[in-house]
Structure formats: C-alpha cells, structure tokens
Copies of this chain bind each other. A is one copy, B any other.
Amino acid sequence: VRLTQLEVHAALPPMTVTIDAAATAAKFREEIRAELATLSQPLTLVGILTAERGPSATYAKYAQKASEEVGVRFFLRHANRLEAEAAIREYNADAAVHGLMVYYPVFGTERDSYLRDTVDPAKDIEGLHSYWARSLYENRRYLDAGRAKKAILPCTPLAILKLIEAAGVFAPKGRPLEGRTVCVFNRSEVVGRPLASMLAHDGARVYSFDIDGPQLYTPSDRPDGVHKVSETSVDRARALSQADIIVTGVPSPNFELIRAAEIREGSVCINVSTYRNFDPDIEGKAAAFAPRVGPMTVTMAIRNALRLYQNGRS
C-alpha cells in the first residue's frame, strides 16, 4: 500500500509548529541591517537600567547585543530609580541620541506611567508614550496626510502580532485578521490593552481577559474605523472554544494553565509571560505555539528606532 502525502499527514499525530521568536527576530534584523546600511550615519540608542540584576538586566544585555548585531550603537546607562527621570531628560535633549529604552519596572507603581511619558515620543522606540497609545487606540496609522510617516506601535504587542503573522494566519488581502477570534489574557496598559486594540483594528474579534472582568473588542465595519469595546459575560471556556489565536501574558505561577481540552484544534498559541501559561499538552493540538516573545520585542524596538529616524528625516 502506498499512501499519498496527504494520507501520510493524516495518519501521523498532528504536529504543533514551534514559533521561534529568536529565529523570527533574526530575519527581521536582517531587513533592519540592510535598511540601516542605507543611512548616512549609524543610529545611536540608549538603554536606561535601574535594576542591577533580574529580567530587566538580562533584557538590557540582550538589547545591546541585538543592536550591535545590526550595526546600531548602543549605550547602557546605569541609574538608580530616582535618577531615571533626569537621565531620560538628558537623552531627550541630546541630538546625538536617536532612541531611548527604559527597562521597567523602575518604581513598579503608577509612577512608571509618568516616567514613560517623560520620554520624548520622537525617541520612544518602545512605543509606550501615551502619545503613541492614543494614535493606536484611535487607529491613526500615519502621522501625516501623505501617509509617509508611520505611527509607532508598542514593541511587545507589535512583536506578538509579528509572531501571529509568522504562524501563517494572516489573510492575504483586506484586514489580516478579518473573521478571526482571539483571546488575550492580560489587559495591562503596555501589553494586553494595546494588543487587543491592534488585533481588533486588524479585523479580529478579541476577548480580553483580566482580573477586572472580560471585555470584547469588536472590529469596526469600516476597514480604517475604530473598534468598539464592551463588557461581556463570556467565560474562559466559551471564549477559548471560539479562539483561533490565544495570547497569554499572565505574570503569575497561579494562573490555571490553558489545557488542550480547552482550545480548538489548529489554534495559534502565544505565551508572552515569563511564566508558562499553557499546559504542555497543547502540543499536538495547537497548530503553532510560541513559548516566548522576548527576542522579538527588542528587535521591534530597534525597528521602531529606524522608523522614528526616518520619520524625522522625511
């Protein structure tokens, strides 16, 4: 008996493709390196680090490595948390510095919002300033009528969107996530809320879960319109059973892991948290799984730096 390729495939247990954030990031960095080579000067970025160790320090080192790999000059400034604001102002005013990253948490309180808004939006390569948040929530994708200058998107949600694209679920035309349903667990101001907004502006219906209850982001009827947001009574089980894409950013070891039994066959799963939010048993049922996003985040920040530089020159 000879089986066709399709039959072989059907006879095998289903495969979950691993979406490798580092490999995806490397591809983006190739493009970035090529674009950077066309500039008249190298870009210079500064990272401001207030933690001596832990995830921020690791992330800062990674940012330095990734920057240097594409030919971006990167300077890591160590400061204590009370010096961070003055350091930001110093680099805001320094024409030789093209972009700034601040490794959060600095205070770990609401005060970090104040700090994020201290960064000059034109140097905010992480896209965290409320200026950029407003552009995003209002679906203003360009800064100019001529649509030459693209608005900056927050780097973690952008990284997640690029990993979803890498999973091959984008529609070839129209809004890339038209007709898709997404579940996002996390509605923080830096990850989950901007992500839900981006996904809905790209056509998806998004269930957004957080401790203060689920919300539903519904795409606009007009391709360039602003989504609607409403409170919803959907529960996790029902939302997951509808989801083509599941994104989790729950920073807790106590989150009830998402199990294979809860998800649709062939869904795309993205784990953003440094904690594992998915049960290993999703492997085999999900079409694709990204166990982490980190390396893509830094790369999207560097891509934003390039955008901001080009916006300033065009």
A binding-site residues for B, Cβ under 8 Å: 80, 82, 107-111, 113-114, 117, 130, 133, 187-189, 193, 212, 215, 229-231
Contact = CB atoms under 8 A, between A and B. Distances in A.
Nearest to A231: B82
B114 A130 contact: yes
Given A82-B215, A82-B230, A188 B117 contact: no
A112 to B, nearest CB: 8
The number of times this chain is found in the oligomer is 2
Nearest to A211: B109
Contacts of A212: 107-109
Contacts of A107: 212
Contacts of A82: 215, 229-231
Contacts of A215: 82
A212 B108 CA distance: 9
Nearest to A210: B109
Nearest to A112: B110
Residue of A80, A212, A230 ringed by the most chain B CB atoms within 10 A: A212
Given A130-B117, A189-B114, A231 B80 contact: yes
A109 B188 CA distance: 8
A111 B130 CA distance: 11
A200 B82 CA distance: 16
A157 to B, nearest CB: 15
A149 to B, nearest CB: 23
A252 to B, nearest CB: 16
Given A109-B212, A110-B113, A114-B133, 13 more contacts: A82-B215, A82-B229, A82-B231, A108-B212, A109-B187, A109-B188, A110-B110, A110-B189, A113-B113, A113-B114, A113-B189, A117-B117, A117-B130
A110 B231 contact: no
A117 B82 CA distance: 23
A51 to B, nearest CB: 13
A59 to B, nearest CB: 20
A231 B107 CA distance: 12
Residue of A107, A113, A187, A231 ringed by the most chain B CB atoms within 10 A: A113
A104 to B, nearest CB: 11
A272 to B, nearest CB: 17
23 contacts: A80-B231, A82-B215, A82-B229, A82-B230, A82-B231, A107-B212, A108-B212, A109-B187, A109-B188, A109-B189, A109-B212, A110-B110, A110-B113, A110-B189, A111-B189, A111-B193, A113-B114, A113-B189, A114-B130, A114-B133, A114-B189, A117-B117, A117-B130
A249 to B, nearest CB: 14
Q: Which 4 pairs between the two chains have the least Cβ-Cβ distance?
A: A113-B113, A110-B189, A82-B229, A117-B130
A215 B109 CA distance: 15
Contacts of A133: 114
Nearest to A85: B137
A186 to B, nearest CB: 12
Contacts of A114: 113, 130, 133, 189
